[in-house]
Amino acid sequence: MTTVPPLLRLPRSRPRSLRLRRLSRSTALFALVGGCALLAGAPASASGTGSLTPYLDCVTTNPQTGDITAYYGYHNTTGSALVVSVGDNNQLFPADAFQGQPTYFNQGTFAQVFPVTFDPTVFPALAWILDGQEADASATSPACTGGVTAPATAIGLTGATLTGVVVPTGTATGYSFSYGTTPTLGTTTAVQDFGTGTQPRLVQQKLTGLFPGTTYYARLDTTSDAVTTHGQVLSFTTPATAPLLITTAATLAAGTVHAGYAHSLAGSGGLKPYTWTVTAGRLPAGLSLNRTTGAITGTPTVKGTSTFTVKLSSASAPRAVPVSRQFHLTIAAAKAK
């Protein structure tokens, strides 16, 4: 995955020396506003035939913040490698001059050598000025295309299948899905290898461990030639569970001293496994409640009627509201022999 430089933001004021240097590039500012592609002037370091030319590969737009990431490459047709230090002949404008661009340029064409992110509400456009030429990026520049998010399928109480269509470029491509309970997402699946094909193909990722009755947001992310693109963020909602209920009557079957006893509490709704807990009172001496099954078992040792409260909760559905019920259990004296 490509590391994106910090977001560019123009300070309210700059030191006088820097303001003067920026004024010396007023031609570039006019070019940005007017959409001009080239600056006048001879290359600073190229010699002989050929040229060193920057170009814009494509841009991506963050769907949450609106920030734009521009991916730049260059052509060097001079016949030799060149060095162009950061400065008037190798700078990002209007911004701090260095934003991760290279200073050593091999002969040939190199795509997506660095990305730069900017806020279009601060900078309507951004230019890489290199050796007397510039490449502009703005919200209307060609968008990077990598994939399209499709609606989720197989949506259940605790799971769903995320889907998307990868649009490959013929180079090595990887994809993953990002999802979460807000549009900012937050969780990313493992990156999968799509291969180097050129035909669009449906891709899927099964999710488990979701919460019932919850809205999730998801998108497809693809990476190719160091460019990461994000599909549209779509949402889906898992079905809600039925409310938790304790369905066993309040008066339990009676037992007898010194005779084995077994009676199970029952519930409905929520999601299993259930958790049964005595929250008030106590069971007759000699009996115990199984927290997982709700079974009351044991051998009573004392006669009498016990009153106790049991809470039912759904451990795998923490958003289900627990319920409680008071029970009465009578233990009779042992029968005379």
Q: Which domain holds residue 22?
A: 16-138
pTM of structure? 0.51
Residues 200 and 253 in one domain: no
**32 occurs within a structural domain:** yes
Residues 226 and 289 in one domain: no
Q: Report the candidate in 82, 227, 246 with the shortest Cα–Cα distance to residue 147.
A: 227
**312 occurs within a structural domain:** yes
Torsions phi, psi of 317, nearest 5?
-135, 75
Query: Residue 14 has what pLDDT?
Result: 31
The domain tally of the chain equals 3
Residues 128 and 167 in one domain: no
**189 occurs within a structural domain:** yes
Query: Residue 54 has what pLDDT?
Result: 96
Query: Residue 137 has what pLDDT?
Result: 95
176 with 221: CB under 8 angstroms?
yes
270 with 242: CB under 8 angstroms?
yes
Residues 165 and 130 in one domain: no
137 with 92: CB under 8 angstroms?
no
**5 occurs within a structural domain:** no
Quote the CA–CA distance of 260 and 231 in Å, as a whole number: 63
Residues 132 and 155 in one domain: no
Q: Report the candidate in 262, 269, 160 with the shortest Cα–Cα distance to residue 218.
A: 160
**337 occurs within a structural domain:** no
Structure tokens at 151: 């609606």
Residues 47 and 111 in one domain: yes
Q: Report the candidate in 45, 46, 26, 44 with the shortest Cα–Cα distance to residue 36.
A: 26
Query: Residue 71 has what pLDDT?
Result: 86
Residues 205 and 250 in one domain: no
Query: Residue 46 has what pLDDT?
Result: 44
**173 occurs within a structural domain:** yes
**2 occurs within a structural domain:** no
Residues 106 and 128 in one domain: yes
In tens digits, what is the pLDDT along the chain, a chain of 337 residues? 444 444 444 333 332 222 222 222 222 222 232 332 222 233 334 445 789 999 998 887 877 788 898 889 999 999 999 999 999 999 999 888 888 999 999 999 887 788 898 999 999 999 999 999 999 999 999 887 788 899 999 999 889 999 999 888 778 889 999 999 999 999 999 999 998 877 888 999 999 999 888 999 999 999 877 678 888 899 999 998 888 999 999 999 999 999 999 999 999 988 888 999 999 999 999 999 999 999 999 999 999 999 999 999 987 665 678 999 999 999 999 887 6
Query: Residue 316 has what pLDDT?
Result: 67
Residues 192 and 265 in one domain: no
Query: Residue 237 has what pLDDT?
Result: 96
Q: Which of 138, 157, 173 is the last residue of a domain?
A: 138
**9 occurs within a structural domain:** no
